[in-house]
Amino acid sequence: MPSQLSLIYSIGKQYAALILIHFKKSQLPQKAAQLTLSSLLAAVPIITIIISILSFTPTLEAMKEQLFQLIEQHLAPGSSDILLPYLIQFANQTKNLPIAGLIGLLLTALLLLNNFENSVQAIWNIQRARKLREKLLTYWAILTLGPIIFIASLSLFGKLMSIQFGDQDENSLINLLLELGNLTLYFLMLLTLNYLTPNADVSLKWAAIASLFGSIGLHLLNMIFGSFAQFFANYQVIYGAFAAIPIFLIWMQSSWLIVLASICLCSSLHNTNS
């Protein structure tokens, strides 16, 4: 038994060393900073696309407010209540833009997706790039089908919240499942990114393991920001609405760093097992 434990410890130590080396070589903080800047530029175009898609049918239109409430809960706790209304206002003003301006906004959103894909390929050390047609089809599917799938998941989540049971134990079980809903949402998002973004054969098992660690990291990040909401409020007393900007930037940078770390972990697991 002691020999088995020492063997497991030795293997785990080797795994950790290889993964740490990969993390250092991948330059994750620099990539996260680039994606943070791209996200600031692409925030209004992406919200504009979401609003346009949700305006297609009365059913989706009715769920728009619920969607933005959910986004506000997960978007930089402590600053989202200030920033999100401005982003929605800017997105609504894009209706007055000419065709050239709308094309520019769309290209800005595509630039964010392209920067993210390039970061993933660099972390995986993939030299073979996707064809332009495949890229455009993938990006367009993300920008159009992504919000619709998210809305469908949100609708199912809302139906679960409306379920009431007479048995108190069953209600407690439902509440526990709903509390795990946020973690599940993070996990599914990261699993999609880990499994589909790299231009390589990805094992679903290793992608799921990396996504699990990443989803826990995102959940802890939002818990930390939510716990320090009062601390952020003190800054708002001094700086007013400007206090939301550095808070949002720190949250965005940290979120991208966790996402890229999950992708780096997935790549490291594939490398060490090949």
- pLDDT (tens, 9 = 90+) of the chain, 274 residues, equals 566 667 666 666 777 777 788 888 888 999 999 999 888 888 777 777 777 776 666 666 666 666 676 666 666 665 666 676 777 777 677 667 777 777 887 788 888 888 999 999 999 988 887 888 888 877 877 777 666 666 666 566 555 555 544 455 555 666 666 667 778 888 988 998 898 888 888 999 999 999 999 999 988 888 887 777 666 666 666 666 666 777 788 888 999 999 999 999 999 888 877 6
- Is 19 among the domain residues? no
Tokens representing residue 11 in the block: 């293997």
- Is 17 among the domain residues? no
Angle between helices 204-227 and 244-273 (to 10 degrees): 160
pLDDT score, position 63: 66
Angle between helices 244-273 and 80-93 (to 10 degrees): 90
pLDDT score, position 7: 65
pLDDT score, position 248: 80
Q: How far is CA 113 from its chain centroid? A: 12
pLDDT score, position 254: 92
- Is 2 among the domain residues? no
Burial class (CB in 10 A: 0-12, 13-18, 19+), 23: middle
Within 10 angstroms of residue 193's Cβ, the number of other Cβ atoms is 22
Residues 6+ apart with CB under 8 A from 232: 78, 79, 225, 243, 247
- Is 13 among the domain residues? no
Looking at residue 188, its amino acid is L
Q: How many domains does the chain have?
A: 1
- Is 145 among the domain residues? yes
pLDDT score, position 61: 65
8 Å CB contact between 3 and 249? no
- Is 7 among the domain residues? no
Tell me how far CA of residue 78 lies from CA of 5, 84, 213, 228, 248, in angstroms: 45, 11, 24, 8, 9
pLDDT score, position 21: 84
Q: Strand, helix or coil at 155? A: helix
Burial class (CB in 10 A: 0-12, 13-18, 19+), 150: middle
- Is 5 among the domain residues? no
The domain of 138 spans 27-273
Looking at residue 105, its amino acid is L
- Is 12 among the domain residues? no
